[in-house]
Amino acid sequence: MANLVEKAINHKLNRRSFLGLSAGAVAAVTLPGCGLQKVDADKAAELSQKQGEWITAACWHNCGGRCLNKAYVVEGVVIRQKTDDTHPDSPDFPQQRGCARGRSHRKMVLGADRLKYPMKRKNWEPGGGNKELRGKDEWVRISWDEALDIMASEIMRIKDKYGNASFFAPAGGSGGGMEPQRLLNAYGGCTERWGNVSWGSWPDVYSTVTGLPNNGASSGNDRFRLRDSKLIILWGANPAQSSQGLPTYNYLQAKKAGAKFIVIDPLYTESARTLGDQWIPVRPATDTTLLLGMAHYIITNNLLDQSFLDNCTIGFDADHMPAGADPKENFKDYVLGTFDGTPKTPEWASEICGVGVDIIKKFAHEYATTKPAAIISGGAPARINNGEHLPHAMMTLAYMTGNIGIPGAGVSPNMHNSATNAGPALVQPGGNGIPKVNNPIAKSRINSGEMWDAVLDGQFTESKGKKVDVNIQMIWNWFSHTLNQRAGATRGIEAHKKVEFAVAQNLFLTTDARYSDLVLPVTSQWERLGGLLTGNREILIYHTQVIKPLFEAKSDMWIVAEIAKRLGVDTKIVDPVSEEQQLYNQIAGATVMKADGSGYEKLVTFTAEDIQALGAKGAPQTGRISYQEFKEKGIYQVPRSRGDKLEFTSFEDFLADPVGKKLATPSGKFEIYCDTLSKKIDKIGFSTKSPIPKYDPPREGYEDGVKDGYPFQIVTIHYYRRSHSTLDNVPWLREAFPQEFWMNAGDAAKLGIKTNDIVKVTSRHGVVIRPAYVTERIMPGVVALGEGAWVEMDEQAGVDKAGSTGIINGHIATGQGHSGYNSCNVKVEKYDKPLEPDYKWPQRIIF
Ligand SMILES: Nc1nc2c(c(=O)[nH]1)N[C@H]1C(S)=C(S)[C@@H](COP(=O)(O)OP(=O)(O)OC[C@H]3O[C@@H](n4cnc5c(=O)[nH]c(N)nc54)[C@H](O)[C@@H]3O)O[C@H]1N2
Ligand SMILES: Nc1nc2c(c(=O)[nH]1)N[C@H]1C(S)=C(S)[C@@H](COP(=O)(O)OP(=O)(O)OC[C@H]3O[C@@H](n4cnc5c(=O)[nH]c(N)nc54)[C@H](O)[C@@H]3O)O[C@H]1N2
Ligand code: SF4
Ligand SMILES: [Mo]
């Protein structure tokens, strides 16, 4: 290992001098064809005086925003970046400006640690060889031919010996293309991963309770209607960090228009600091008790909107239950404790959630007496084990007060790039024309919470009470960072060491790649032909190629097509549509909402010459803007103004006519008693849920921590420095946003911990070390760590030095199969060895 590190440092120096890159200097470069050109400081200075071209550069990650970013390219060299200046900025027609991550993109795309060549593990042999060496073996550079031959021969060998179900394709999460899975599907199928790793328990609850076929992401109000709100509750939502781009600016317009903001979060976040009129810290994974305590106050103080409940919901009280349901199982009697003897009073709630009784009462009163009020949640509070009660209780509170379906009101998880701008897309791309290849063994699918156990123990849950044997022998990692970004990474590393063949297809030596046998370098979007990116509902971005492919990197499609040839699979199935045609299909098929809101029309005008220049086939068409204008600007932004026909509030139609415009639920109403949901959860077989929202302490929640001697609850937040794990390797960003461990000042004092002391954090599942950030900005008993750091195991000490939350979080299958990262308990102690800041660590440069 020491040898490897030394080698990496030398290579880093070599490459730096080769490129003439000094800190802060301009960067690289391609020559026609391939490879790099030498750019020293003098050459860089010379180039920066020359005329170049601004090219729209993709910022393509699952970052929670979407902005316009451009790269200035002179003679093939990227000189600098900028963001949106296509029109003057104003609150009503804002620019789409990038964040620190987007503005550092060239440091990632042109990073010295890009994978340059295919590599195999030195001691690899067919069947794995010494598998224990995974993660610490040396890397050997190989040709593409050898890499592709190894891929094909191992795939054939494993299929022959174990069958198709032994291929595991765990992508998803941020996942873009599904190329490797197309190939495996065409070759007889593979075992897939399933389960929402992102939105917690929102998706199934939102869709089942409301009958809308979505996870609630685009529900609530658009940015203009938010200005109608009198009260906005950011419930476990931190847009300033996790919805970068416009959302915080849009919230500021609502604040200017008079909205009060209350923030419910164990952390005093940047959003609380920027927007909040009040901060209510709450223990993680206990929000349901706070909601129930509020419900108790609202019921007992006669603040209910009874006519809304009667007309628009089912299951609130014994008189409004669905046919066949036990009348005692109604929500009101549960809250009042009529049958179980436990009234869910603010006092009861306070004991569990840690919010003062008077604060709960005042908050409940304010919410119930303010209209319109909007509850806007992040995914975070629902990212807990057996977490289905939380969204259900949150929605029920809005129904009890009638705070939904009127401009400025609502309840939904409105985070990510639809935050502050709910509603159907106003501009959208066409399809790329690639047909799906079905998986012939689609039933072989393992939940994220069980996948590493399944690899290690050979079994997974197909449905309640039904375990199925599986013998995974190949893991193919691509376009997600599964080993790093799912819970249970310690088990994941063991699983990677167990199988006969592990491969990673990425831009960097990520955690997945490090524990693989074979690593295949892929091109970034800056090196590909171009494509469209969606973001908030008003924009469509058209990014184009910035540089030629670096070193020997190839596109995912090229890689699988080459493997297909060797496997005897028809490449037309795997790679059926040329890149040029895909791009054309998306642009020609792009549509934009008409100004009167009556439907969509074509966005782009194409002439026969445009189509020919693109290298595609198609007929000329007329749209709102010319192809040339779209390409030059790189963006189309729908013109908007207050009062236009494109404003949006969820459930307005239903509210106007609850009888005529029924919801698509069995009752046609919002279901406070939702049997469909309980049955669905029950059938999956991981946990159970009563038809009404109740408090069911989550596994590894507050109570389990107290019981089992883990005094702290950890929240794993989405962090400024990166988009999940993406961009975590950029030293600029590492330096600007240290991967620090948040701890309350009182708690830290008791343990003798000060800011920058190195602490050891131990959960039931793994151990990490990190520098402490001691602050009053987090409530006592709670600690926090940003998710996404790249696992960096100190094998001897048995600790992860990077502070990867995948190591801390448990591998637990739960609820609808979602991931419950915010229910987790830890112990904290001072660590006795120093730790260098991670921006000074050697980059993972092998060649
Ligand atoms: N910078 C950055 N932004 C991102 C991403 C990224 O990786 N980096 N990823 C994007 C993606 S894919 C997603 S899904 C979204 C996620 O977006 P969110 O889920 O909104 O983001 P989080 O940072 O996980 O959590 C938001 C807030 O919830 C709080 N919180 C955590 N647990 C609880 C709880 O139990 N109760 C309450 N009341 N609050 C709690 C946290 O302290 C945090 O301040 O972010 C997107 N945006
Ligand atoms: N503890 C904890 N864990 C979490 C969360 C949390 O809150 N707490 N949040 C979860 C959430 S919300 C999400 S959405 C997931 C995200 O989980 P993932 O999707 O697994 O994470 P990313 O870091 O986005 O991984 C994307 C990977 O694809 C690679 N990549 C980019 N472009 C290409 C390409 O063109 N081809 C190929 N082959 N590779 C490419 C990138 O380099 C990167 O390694 O993480 C989840 N993990
Ligand atoms: S918010 Fe996302 S799209 Fe916008 S600049 Fe940042 S990383 Fe790029
Ligand atoms: Mo996500």
Close Cβ partners of 160 (under 8 Å, ≥ 6 residues apart)? none
For the beta carbon of residue 484, count every other beta carbon within 10 angstroms: 26
Last residue of a domain, one of 75, 109, 143: 109
Asked whether 50 and 80 are in contact (CB, 8 A), the reply is no
* 625 lies in some domain: no
Within-domain flag for 391 = yes
- Is residue 151 in some structural domain? yes
Q: Which two tokens stand for residue 517?
A: 């046998």
pLDDT (average), residues 451-465: 97
CB 346 within 8 A of CB 280: no
Q: Lowest-pLDDT range, 298-307, 409-418, 465-474, 783-792?
A: 409-418
- Cα 2 from Cα 752, distance rounded (Å): 34
Rg value, the chain, Cα: 27
Nearest CA to ligand 3 atom 1: 65
Do 478 and 402 reside in the same domain of the chain? Answer: no
Asked, for residue 627, whether it belongs to a domain, the answer is no
**Which secondary structure element, helix H or strand E, spans residue 334, and what is its range?**
helix 331-336
The verdict on 275 and 348 lying in the same domain is yes
Can you tell me the mean pLDDT for 143-150? 98
Characterize the bridge pairing of strands 767-775 and 782-786: unpaired
Q: Which structural domain range is residue 138 located in?
A: 119-194+436-536+539-543+554-579
Q: Which of 691, 695, 688 is nearest to 666 (CA)?
A: 691
Q: Judge whether residue 43 has pLDDT over 90.
A: no
Q: Is the CB of 67 under 6 A from ligand 3?
A: yes
Are the C-beta atoms of residues 393 and 295 closer than 8 Å to each other? yes
pLDDT band for position 18 (cuts 50, 70, 90): very low
pTM: 0.95
Residue 504's beta-bridge partner residues? 477, 519
For residues 360 and 472, state if they share a domain: no
- Residues 764 and 730: beta-carbon distance below 8 Å: no
Best probe residue, ligand 2, of 506, 543, 716, 719 (max atoms within 8 Å of C-beta): 506
pLDDT at 42: 87
**CA distance readout (Å), 195 to 1, 46, 450, 663, 815:** 36, 52, 10, 26, 10
What's the pLDDT score for residue 228?
98
* Confidence tier at 37 by pLDDT (50, 70, 90): low
What CA–CA distances, in Å, run from 554 to 26, 227, 506, 558? Answer: 25, 47, 10, 6
Q: What is the DSSP letter of 441?
A: T
For residue 17, what are the contacts with CB-CB under 8 A and spacing of at least 6?
none
Is it the case that residue 33 has pLDDT exceeding 80?
no
Same domain, 206 and 294: yes
Residue 208 pLDDT > 90, yes or no? Answer: yes
Summarize pLDDT for 727-777 with one digit per residue, the tens. 999 999 999 999 999 999 999 999 999 999 999 999 999 999 999 999 999
Q: Which amino acid is at 736?
A: A
| 601 occurs within a structural domain | no
Q: Which atom of ligand 2 lies nearest, measured to the CA of 728?
A: 23
How, if at all, do strands 313-314 and 670-671 pair?
parallel
- Indicate if 382 and 479 belong to the same structural domain: no
Considering the domain architecture, whether residues 253 and 385 belong to the same structural domain is answered as: yes
Is residue 66 within 6 Å of ligand 3 at its C-beta? yes
In a domain, 635, yes or no: no
Query: Total structural domains in the chain?
Result: 4
Structure confidence by residue, pLDDT tens digits, 263-275: 999 999 999 999 9
Residue 167 belongs to domain with CATH number? 3.40.50.740
Q: How confident is the model at residue 215 (pLDDT cuts 50, 70, 90)?
A: confident
**Residues 502, 465 within the same domain:** yes
The answer as to whether 605 is a domain residue is no
Identify whether residues 710 and 672 lie together within a single domain.
no
Is there a cis peptide before residue 780, judged by omega within 30 degrees of 0?
no
Considering the chain, what percentage of its residues have pLDDT values greater than 90? 92
Q: In angstroms, what is the span from residue 173 Cα to ligand 2's centroid?
A: 6
Q: What residue's CA is closest to ligand 3, atom 7? A: 102
pLDDT in tens, 362-416: 999 999 999 999 999 999 999 999 999 999 999 999 999 999 999 999 999 988 9
Domain endpoint, select from 109, 144, 175? 109
Q: Is 715 in the pocket of ligand 1 (CB under 6 A)?
A: yes
Taking 90 as the threshold, does the pLDDT of residue 146 lie above it? yes
Cβ proximity of 234 and 376 under 8 Å: yes
**175: confidence class by pLDDT, cuts 50, 70, 90:** low
Q: Tell whether 81 and 164 lie within a shared domain.
A: no
Contact of 691 with 315, CB cutoff 8 Å: yes
For residue 268, how far is its CA from the centre of ligand 1 (angstroms)?
13
Looking at the domain assignment, is residue 218 inside a domain? yes
Tell whether 352 and 206 lie within a shared domain: yes
Percent of the chain with pLDDT over 70: 95
Question: What is the tens place of the pLDDT at every residue in 48-74?
Answer: 889 999 999 999 999 999 999 999 999
On whether both 417 and 443 belong to a single domain, the answer is no
> Quick one: which atom of ligand 1 is closest to the CA of 717?
23
CB 670 within 8 A of CB 209: yes
Residue 766 is part of a domain; what is its CATH number? 2.40.40.20
Give yes or no for a contact between 227 and 400, defined as CB atoms under 8 angstroms apart. no
CA distances from 634 to 83, 312, 323, 436, 540 (A): 11, 44, 55, 29, 8
Q: Which has the closest alpha carbon to 845: 722, 731, 726, 720?
A: 731
Q: Say yes or no: CB of residue 723 within 6 Å of ligand 1.
A: yes
Residues 443, 490, single domain; the answer is yes
